């Protein structure tokens, strides 16, 4: 009777050693990535907080974009100085899952100079966000600012909302009747006090900004009315 050929092992000792080595390398690499993430997480969050606070100062008209987000060189205020200014003049308030800021002229609790809101939502390709300062009676926008690092819209189109030409036009805009935008406006024809120029080729982004502004201002108005009762 002929002998049956021995079955070859699918995984031999050499293969097992390779599996163990690769597993160990993957575990070490994963651990290092987790460590790096943990170490940099606090720094990333601190930078994001500083950028937001700087943007609020710009929207409120306390500093210019060139001073706090210069193209070259260092900003006029350090993160520590921005934090100190907030500690003395700006109060962050959370109400009904909504965050807004009160800006005081001299010190917190003194004369109220402005409210600041943050509008944020999904645009055509990514995040649309803007900081907006309003008069204490919410009748008029005092200023606005967009942080370029945040926006995820299409370069050359929706991303143009990061340009000062776009966000600076909100200064002096009335909030009633509802804010609207105009497409393809003749530069020689005037805008209504509650209108802004849409971004050419980025109607979706412009619509998102309009809707977020109206919704967020209405939400803040309800909160303030509730507080004053």
Q: Tell which wins on pLDDT, 20 or 10.
A: 20
**Domain boundaries defined on the chain:** 90-228
Reduce the DSSP state of residue 7 to 3 states and report it: coil
- Write down the pTM of the prediction: 0.82
Which of 74, 77, 32 has its CA nearest to residue 54? Answer: 77
Give Cβ neighbours of residue 141 (< 8 Å, ≥ 6 apart). Answer: 132, 133, 134, 170, 171, 172, 173, 174, 175
Q: Which of 31-45, 64-78, 107-121 has the highest mean pLDDT?
A: 107-121
Predicted pLDDT at 33: 79
Degrees (nearest 5) of the Cα angle 80, 220, 136?
Answer: 70
Predicted pLDDT at 9: 56
* Beta-carbon count within 10 A of 152 CB: 14
Predicted pLDDT at 2: 54
């Amino acid at each position: 009777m002929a002998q049956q050929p021995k079955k070859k092992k699918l995984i031999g000792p050499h293969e097992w050693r390779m599996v163990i080595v690769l597993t160990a390398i993957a575990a070490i690499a994963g651990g290092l990535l987790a460590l790096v993430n943990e170490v940099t997480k606090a720094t990333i969050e601190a930078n994001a907080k500083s950028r937001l606070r700087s943007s609020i100062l710009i929207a409120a008209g306390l500093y210019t974009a060139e001073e706090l987000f210069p193209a070259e060189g260092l900003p006029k205020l350090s993160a520590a100085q921005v934090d100190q200014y907030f500690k003395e003049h700006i109060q962050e308030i959370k109400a009904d899952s909504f965050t807004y800021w009160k800006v005081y002229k001299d010190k917190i609790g003194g004369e109220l100079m402005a409210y600041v809101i943050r509008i944020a939502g999904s645009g055509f390709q990514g995040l649309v966000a803007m900081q907006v300062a309003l008069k204490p009676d919410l009748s008029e926008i005092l200023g606005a600012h967009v942080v370029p690092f945040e926006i995820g819209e299409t370069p050359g189109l929706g991303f143009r909302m990061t340009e000062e030409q776009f966000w600076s036009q909100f200064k002096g805009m009335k909030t009633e009747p509802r804010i609207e935008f105009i497409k393809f406006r003749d530069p020689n024809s005037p805008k209504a006090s509650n209108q802004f120029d849409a971004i050419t080729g980025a109607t979706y982004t412009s619509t998102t900004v309009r809707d977020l502004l109206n919704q967020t201002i209405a939400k803040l108005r309800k909160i303030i009315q509730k507080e004053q009762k």
